[in-house]
Structure 1
Amino acid sequence: MDRDRFARLPAVIASLVLLPVLLEILAWYIEGEDYDVSRAVTVVVVILSLALIATVLGRIRARLPVLMVIALTVTAAGEGVLGFVAAFGPVLGRGGVPGELHGLITTGVSAFAFITGVYLLIQYNRGLYLPYLDAGVGPLPSATKRKVIGESEILIRTMPGIGPSVEKSVGSCVAMLDQDDLHFVAYYADGRCCFYTDVLDDADLAHFFHETDQEQRRELYLKAGHQLNWLTGRLNRQFRRIEGGILIRTVLDVERGALYFYWVDEARYLIGVTLDQRKVDVADDKMAKLVDTIRGHFTLPPINQRERPRERGGRLRSIAGSEPWPESGS
């Protein structure tokens, strides 16, 4: 479920249009006065304008800091031209700008600059460009089915109307899932999640969930998928000079498991998750094979084939007796 709070804001504002109009009509009826149509139209226009602004802000808020800076720059340039005309207009020609108009515009520009500065300072304090990272994930896959393979109960959620190649990709992802290592996989295309599948409801994984339940964790993973795609795009622009190609794999190895970002092609990518810190390498290898398999569904060559020597003990590190053992599969 998309819990984006901005999505409902325009509807709430637009719903308020009826109330003022009904009150105007009721007052006209009770008091027996002539109905002021222009006043009612003004109220409707103002509230509809607010709803439109809320809709626009809800869609562009991911780039709101950049847009605010652009708007501020353009407004400041216009104010500079206006100030020049106001100051030198009477000297260079007969034209000029009335003092009241100039003062009003200057006040507006100053207020806009102040609000923009405060907003950007707040966002900078939270982390640069976090408005995008905090943005909603849009419509999520809703068609749900469950499948039992061996001892694993697998949840599969898809968007309607996926093509045959994506259907094959669903099957490939389901085949890779296991309650022992790879626990969640999501497939994105053209900026949206087309499907995801996981074993998070498996009883053997219940000890991984404390402050968040399975549905909340799924929503967080899907949101992280959008965030990592955006961050990867920014890193790619910075890495062009090293001539190493694009970033095809990102692993966020956290204390309890790992989250994987794997590039498929220009329009597609995968997100994978393991909850078990001891199986980070195993799940990573599975994700690499899965990407090559999915690329094959779209007649693309493999890009992640690699050999990794297996050392005894895998990637387990020694843990001091005084150090608490992370909750990993035991």
Structure 2
Amino acid sequence: MDTDRFSKLPAVIASFVLLPVLLELLAWYIEGEEYDVARAATVVLVIVMLALISTVLGRIRARLPVLMVIALTSTAAVEVVLGFVAAFGPVLWRGGLPGELHGLITTGVSAFAFVTGVYLLIQYRRGLYLPYLEAGMGPLPTATKRRVIGESEILIRTLPDIGPSVEKALTSCVAMVDQEDLHFVAYFGDLRCCFYTDVLDDADLAHFFHDTDPEERRRIYLKAGNQLNWLTQRLNQQLRRLEGGVLIRTVLDVERGAMFFYWIDETRYLIGVTLDQRRVDVADDKMAKLVDTIRGHFTLPPINQRQRPARPQGHLRSIPGSERWPESGS
């Protein structure tokens, strides 16, 4: 989702809460009744705090579940203290807590706990405990151009301003993408997608699309790339004691095609996709070469030097190019 779904919360809070306050002020002015200015100032202060909180949530929504749990724990701790004061204050130090205040705080904490639980349960049922996996990835590439190389019409989308090294990486990716095997490549740097290029609009690939179109596939691939990076970082924390270094390659070899995650360095990685199950190995090798080429643009040594042994083909039936492949979609 490109737009920030939290960005309008401050305006919503102000419109729904400030309006009654303004109406009350107007009625006080017309009728000439005494008005409690301290109470009005308190209400305005609460409104401002809610607006600030909603604005902050919009900026750090990737960590929203953690923040909700911290806030819930903090409010529960405060409620414990208030409950102790209300119960034992009159006995221990001849002081207490007004029943209305304690009841209001208890209601607020209970409501917050209920909303938090419902929200996290919904996320859990959807298979996404952390909404970071659904959070926006910042601005997505929008500058679009097309280039014809051989028989392939290649779509290229980039962010407005990319540096010369990223331009070289883009040129390398465009050279690798074609309608035969590697159909989509996206480059991520500094937690955002700097560019992607693909041939998903090619007519020869139309039979891979049934319930989705190329644009929807692109959004899904970019979102999955964000998720894979998050999961890879968590796996690296678990695998650190194995002393094998970071995870540099992840292949999601699905029934119809595959998705590749390739680590470039601490802040950069590549996502690649092939729609054709028969071309998974070829696309995988191209991604490995592509990563080493891009690392060279940043004066980094290659990390994917490997040799794939030739597959025995004596027991396999070769499929002519004219024969339609039965599987479609990825």
Secondary structure in 1 matching 2:153: strand
Task: Please give the TM-score of this superposition, normalised by the length of structure 2.
Answer: 0.83
The answer on whether the counterparts of 2:10 and 2:54 sit within 8 Å (CA) in structure 1 is no
The answer on whether the counterparts of 1:277 and 1:328 sit within 8 Å (CA) in structure 2 is no
CA pair 117-198 structure 1, distance change in 2 beyond 3 A: same
Task: Please give the TM-score of this superposition, normalised by the length of structure 1.
Answer: 0.83
The answer on whether the counterparts of 1:278 and 1:328 sit within 8 Å (CA) in structure 2 is no
CA pair 276-161 structure 1, distance change in 2 beyond 3 A: same
Identity among equivalent positions (%) equals: 75
Structure-2 separation of matches of 1:44 and 1:211: 50
Structure-2 separation of matches of 1:76 and 1:15: 27
Does the alignment pair 1:132 with 2:132? yes
Letter paired with 1:327: S
Structure-2 separation of matches of 1:283 and 1:166: 21
Q: Which residue of structure 2 lines up, in the alignment, with residue 109 of structure 1?
A: 109
Letter paired with 1:13: V
Structure-1 separation of matches of 2:55 and 2:254: 37
Q: Which residue of structure 2 lines up, in the alignment, with residue 249 of structure 1?
A: 249
1:142 shift after superposition: 1.1
Which sections of structure 1, spanning at least 5 residues, go unmatched?
319-323
Q: Which residue of structure 2 lines up, in the alignment, with residue 278 of structure 1?
A: 278
* Structure 1 residue ranges, 4+ long, deviating more than 4 angstroms after superposition: 2-5, 14-17, 32-54
Does the alignment pair 1:77 with 2:88? no
CA pair 328-101 structure 1, distance change in 2 beyond 3 A: closer
Structure-1 separation of matches of 2:96 and 2:40: 37
Structure-2 separation of matches of 1:312 and 1:306: 19
Which sections of structure 2, spanning at least 5 residues, go unmatched?
319-324
Letter paired with 1:103: G
Q: Which residue of structure 1 lines up, in the alignment, with residue 312 of structure 2?
A: 312
Structure-2 separation of matches of 1:313 and 1:47: 71
CA pair 46-187 structure 1, distance change in 2 beyond 3 A: same
| 1:76-129, Cα deviation, whole Å (9 max, x unpaired) | 111112222223323332433223322222222222222222322332222252
Structure-2 separation of matches of 1:45 and 1:215: 45
The answer on whether the counterparts of 2:157 and 2:197 sit within 8 Å (CA) in structure 1 is yes
Aligned residues: 317
The answer on whether the counterparts of 1:13 and 1:47 sit within 8 Å (CA) in structure 2 is no
Per mean C-alpha deviation after superposition, the further-off stretch among 79-88 and 69-78 is: 79-88
The answer on whether the counterparts of 1:295 and 1:302 sit within 8 Å (CA) in structure 2 is yes
Letter paired with 1:251: V
Q: Which residue of structure 1 lines up, in the alignment, with residue 321 of structure 2?
A: none
